[in-house]
A and B are shown apart, each in its own frame.
Chain A
Amino acid sequence: MKLSRKFVSDYIEIDNNLSIKDIAEAMTAVGNEYESASSLLPCTHLVVGEILECRDHPNSDHLHVCKVDIGSEILNIVCGAPNCRQGLKVIVALAGAQLPAGEIKKGSIRGVESNGMLCAKCELGLDHKFLEEKDKAGIHELPNDAVVGSDPIALLGLDDEVIDFELTANRGDLLSILGMAYELGAIYKKKVKDIDVSYTQNREDIHDTFKVEVKTDACPLFLAKKVKNVTIKESPNFIKNRLIASGIRPINNVVDISNYVMLETGQPLHFYDASRLGDTLIVRDAKEEEELITLDGQRRTLAKEDIVIANQEGAIGLAGVMGGLSTEVEEDTKDIIIESAIFDSIRVRKTSKKILRSEASTRFEKGIDPKRTYMAIERSCALLEKYADAEIVGGMVEYTTLSIQDTIIDISLEKIKKVLGISLEQDTVVGILEDLGFIVEQGETLKVTVPTRRMDIHMEEDLIEEVGRMYGMDQIKGKLPLLNVVTGSYNKTRREIKNKLVTLGLSETLSYSLIPKGEVTSFTTDTFTPISLADPMSEDKNTLRYSLLYSLKEIYLYNKARSQEDICIFEVGKGFYKEEGVYKEENKLAVFMTGDYYLDIQKTKVDFYIIKGVLEELLDYLGYQNRYTLEVDTNIPKEFHPGQSASIVLQGKRIGVVGKIHPSIVSKDAFAFEISLDKLLENRGTRMRYKDIPKYPEIKKDLAFIVKKEVTSKEIEAVIKKTGGKLLKEIEVFDVYTGENVKEDEKSLAYSLTFTDINRTLTDEEVNEVFKTVISQVEEICKAKLRDK
């Protein structure tokens, strides 16, 4: 909402010493934020001048050299406008003048001194929609009686200031000059002046020639009046300038008056050419697929939820949003039907969202004070009589289902204290409410009558807010609440997981949940119903991800394109899916690793065993040691390398997948895992318990086997473990070898076995006994050969 200072000054007195910024800040302090507050025309150092002499520039075929009288002196100014001529009264920008295009400086143009600029209207910063062709073609021609040396902006009537407010959704009442006047009146303690709604009516009665039929419950109030014999012409300057300051383009006196009254009262009006409308106006729900050509010439197809204004022939306007072309006021219009009505805010909102947001629809959406519906129709008659020579037909067609009632609310000082946390005197509270134009009856509590224009006030809390905002919310002194002591908590496990991965050298990412639909099934073999959006912003963000790995892969590709190839990252986030009609969210952890990784203190390329190490370190740290396994699985997502990947199984249940990314997805060696944190944390480990420290020495024995390549270490370890018995405490793989002395299809695996007994010192003999059995069993079961030292 653009507020013109001149316009609102018609209804409230504002101290001239207050700058427009002061006013804007004062409004902000009571809850009405603004976007900008400035002069309508952002220009300085302009003065009316008279061209005393205009000669051709000696070095140019189109420039003129002028002597311009500005009252205090005569300036030499070079001007290129074709309409520049002797005797013309013009707008002169002096040296030092600030114009939207920049500062005017003294200088010389093609060798001739120039001490200013003669201005075209388009150079003063007026929005394009307010400019005509002539405003751009040449310098502005002021009337002959313009006084040399005076302020040309004042002469044009554009010496106004404007605050552009960003109003909150509840304050529909401020979408009017009158509403703004009440608000400013409350701030500056001034009374709002009366609006002039006086006019004379002729002896005819509108009811004799015109009727209204309302056939929908979406129109609780409809008023119509008729005026005759209007003269369509240009509006007087004050109307045009107030419209311009408010951001509305002047058209002609009649159209301008409807907009002017809307700005004043907040009630949108519609004027119909009475001869084109006919004798009956119908308000009804649109028919499905009904067609209408709106004022802007567009053919619109309507739906049942739209409300239309119709005559006997069909729809002639989209109620609350835009009029129709067929009954528009035109140059030859003589008689007018004025509509002032209220339409259902939700339905107008739906229609305008679909078709067009207009000044009218914005106001209907926020609600209209029915008292203003009456005021606006009277005000428009008054102005049409005065500025369009209209003859006002007697009587008014009135349809209403409303009973206009004041809202009366009780408010107590005690409750104010309870909500705001400050004690206020009764006088202070009453003063604030009365300044706002509320009527206060003082008793045990305060009985407050709220004017109908304040449709946002329904209950005591609303009034408390009024008191608070006018008193100053910032006057409230902060204190810390006195509450019972309770223990707070947060998700510690998730933080531990992140901390662990960070210490393992991984960087946390944060990516979007929305991904392309075609990618939602990648990196998983689960069957699930994905969730898409009804109205996505783009095709690449139309579905909620199920696996986080697609995002991590994209992050890798993004970084690779920027020559960043050592990528070790993780993300904790949700996977989304639908199951039996219910929306599900599953917490997941994904890790992606490629390029260099520092292992101990050596730089090493990430391989399967590094990412496996990261996974094990995390799970063991969380207390899952010995409770999970990595299992070779044929049902691995196709985005993984089939020979370098495994399912992560926790107590018989698959909770994730780990492995190398398939070379067709990522050409470099890249590795990843993803686990369901929900499934993992369902089976939390048991409490940490102390174990006795062995008192007796350990005996370590190393051995190496040569086996066929397809034999897994896990198989060998299983045999060792079984034959090692209870004396065997630990098995560690310390070398894997292929190459010289080992056949092509074989590998050598070296193990270090630790034997110990908690109760006694072991003898070499008994350990050797076990050790020999281990060797013979592995050789037999795994078809292994003991490797000579």
Chain B
Amino acid sequence: MNEKKEQLKKELKEAISQITEMHSLNELKVEYLGKKGKITELSSNLKEMSLDAKKEFGKILNELKEEATSLVEEKRKEIEERLLNKKLESEKIDITLPSKKVRRGSKHPMTRMIEQFEDLFVSMGYTVYEGPEIESDENCFQKLNLPKGHPARDAQDTFYLENEYENFLLRTQTSTAQVRAMEENHEKGPIRIICPGKVYRRDEDATHSHQFMQVEGLVIDENVSMADLKGTLELFCKTILGEKTEVRFRPSFFPFTEPSVEVDVTCFKCGGKGCSLCKQTGWIEVLGAGMVHPNVLTMCGYDPKKYQGFAFGTGIDRFAMFEYGIPDIRTIYGNDIRFLKQFDRKEEQNEVK
């Protein structure tokens, strides 16, 4: 029997080695392992055998079946692999042809800038506060220590509403949010807000637009000082403009803060070496800030003996112009689709600079 087995195996091996096509393999399988196949038929001998011989024969037969099957399956795998490779080869495409697009929109650069500001300050416990764009003269000026006739009003050419001269206006500064936030805080307790938004002034050229955007920050608490203001603005400027940015305080004047400072940062273009953007000074003015004036605290119902606070404000347009290298503010409000669509991706350095 063993001889017979070896002979059949050899025969099968030879036959398999000749095969290249799947259907021939299938036929061969039937020929040997099918119901009437050469191997299967061997079991007909079993009937006449003794029990022991049966056992012996059966074992060998099973071994033969297994071995034959694995020979066929091996071949099957080989053919399948070859067929698959052939198929893959035939499916080769030119991957350099243009893709089928999914349309991608874009967020306005100013929105992107505001979201950066919001994310930073919200992470420090500030609430984003938004006031109305139509304001009273009282909130926009008087309660910010700018009474009627104050010369500092000249710096902000105001759009008054029709028949509302020195009464109702389009806000010229987001500082009005200071007044609202303090007045709306009925407990007269601590405040931590930023207020981004549109402001309007009667002025227009390459660096001024009659409508632009500012963000105002206000912190009121029992123990906040100029040093806290500086630390906060250092963090702000480093986060937005880059880790290497340095911040400089220069004394200045705003009616609603005392002391007041203007805040310069190392020039983002030249890094402080001096260039045309910073007029060779190495510094660029980006913010106005100071300690909330005691008169403002008092007018908004706070006790200046108990509370003090700091406030800061900046033009978002300026930051966006710096951030993206936009030379003319009018581009920002021009809404050329070719401008807008440039802002259709995540910024590489969005997280850390």
Binding site for B on A (CB under 8 A): 28-31, 33, 168-171, 345-346, 349-350, 365-366, 417-422, 459, 461-462, 464-465, 468-469, 473-474, 476-491, 495, 498-499, 501-514, 531-537, 541, 544, 555, 558-559, 562, 564, 566-569, 574, 576, 583, 585, 597-598, 601-603
Contacts and interface: CB of A to CB of B under 8 A. Distances in A.
A510 B335 contact: yes
B228 A480 contact: yes
Interface string B82-115: 0000000000000000001111111110110001
Given A502-B104, A534-B165, 6 more contacts: A169-B150, A419-B259, A488-B121, A533-B159, A537-B204, A558-B335
Interface of B: 100-108, 110-111, 115, 118, 121-128, 130, 132-134, 148-152, 154-155, 159-165, 168, 170, 190, 192, 198, 200, 202, 204, 210-211, 219, 221, 223-235, 247-253, 255, 258-262, 291, 293-294, 308, 332-338, 340-341, 344
Contacts of B229: 478
Contacts of B259: 419-420, 461, 464-465, 468-469, 473
A305 to B, nearest CB: 11
A601 B231 contact: no
Given A495-B115, A508-B105, A531-B161, A169 B230 contact: no
A576 B226 CA distance: 39
A534 B160 contact: yes
A505 B152 contact: no
B122 A420 contact: no
A585 B344 contact: no
Nearest to A477: B227
B106 A502 contact: yes
26 contacts: A169-B152, A169-B154, A419-B226, A419-B259, A421-B227, A464-B259, A473-B251, A478-B247, A480-B232, A481-B221, A488-B192, A490-B127, A505-B102, A505-B103, A510-B108, A510-B110, A511-B333, A512-B333, A514-B200, A531-B134, A531-B161, A531-B162, A533-B162, A534-B165, A564-B338, A585-B134
Q: Which 7 A-B pairs have the closest CB atoms?
A: A421-B227, A505-B103, A346-B149, A421-B225, A31-B251, A478-B230, A469-B251
Contacts of A366: 151
Contacts of A461: 258-259, 291, 293-294
Contacts of A509: 108, 335, 340
Contacts of B252: 31, 33, 168
A502 B121 CA distance: 24
B105 A534 contact: no
Interface of B is mostly: mixed
Nearest to A560: B337
A477 B103 CA distance: 49
Contacts of B200: 513-514
Contacts of A559: 335-337
Contacts of A171: 253
Contact of A501 (B105, B148, B230, B335): B105
B217 to A, nearest CB: 12
Contact of A510 (B224, B234, B333): B333
A483 B108 contact: no
A583 B108 CA distance: 28
A266 to B, nearest CB: 14
B84 to A, nearest CB: 28
B316 to A, nearest CB: 11
Contact of B225 (A418, A486, A501): A418
Contact of A420 (B132, B226, B332, B340): B226
Nearest to B100: A601
Contacts of A481: 219, 221, 224, 228, 231-232
Nearest to A572: B111
Contacts of B124: 488
A479 B107 CA distance: 34
Given A461-B291, A533-B160, A533-B162, A487 B125 contact: yes
Contact of A484 (B148, B190, B335, B341): B190
A169 B192 contact: no
Nearest to A348: B149
Given A509-B108, A558-B336, A576 B219 contact: no
A508 B108 contact: yes
Given A473-B261, A514-B210, A534-B163, A465 B106 contact: no
A566 B337 CA distance: 9
Contact of A505 (B104, B118, B260, B333): B104
Nearest to B106: A507
Contacts of A468: 226, 251, 259
Nearest to B119: A490
A350 B168 contact: no
B249 A474 contact: yes
Residue of A31, A171, A465 most packed against chain B (CB within 10 A) = A465
A28 B248 CA distance: 12
B253 A31 contact: yes
A344 to B, nearest CB: 9
Given A505-B105, A510-B335, A465 B125 contact: no
Contacts of A501: 105
Contacts of A531: 134, 161-162
Contacts of B255: 169-170
B122 A489 contact: yes
A350 B291 CA distance: 30
A555 B336 CA distance: 7
A22 to B, nearest CB: 14
A507 B341 contact: yes
B125 A555 contact: no
B231 A478 contact: yes
Contacts of B101: 598, 601, 603
Contacts of B154: 169
Contacts of B133: 513, 574, 576, 585
Residue of A31, A33, A501, A536 most packed against chain B (CB within 10 A) = A31
B221 A490 contact: no
B164 to A, nearest CB: 7
Nearest to A517: B162
Given A473-B261, A480-B231, A535 B202 contact: yes
Contacts of A495: 115
Contacts of B308: 418-419
A559 B334 CA distance: 10
Contacts of B106: 502, 507-508
A469 B192 CA distance: 26
Given A170-B253, A481-B221, A488-B126, A421 B258 contact: no
Contacts of A562: 336, 338
Contact of A465 (B122, B162, B251): B251
Contact of A31 (B149, B233, B250, B291): B250
Nearest to B110: A510
Contacts of B233: 478
Contact of B128 (A490, A499, A502): A490
A257 B210 CA distance: 43
B159 A510 contact: no
A565 B39 CA distance: 76
Contact of A569 (B111, B248, B337, B344): B337
A607 to B, nearest CB: 15
Given A473-B250, A583-B134, A506 B105 contact: yes
Contact of A535 (B160, B190, B230): B160
Nearest to B233: A478
Contacts of B102: 505, 598, 601
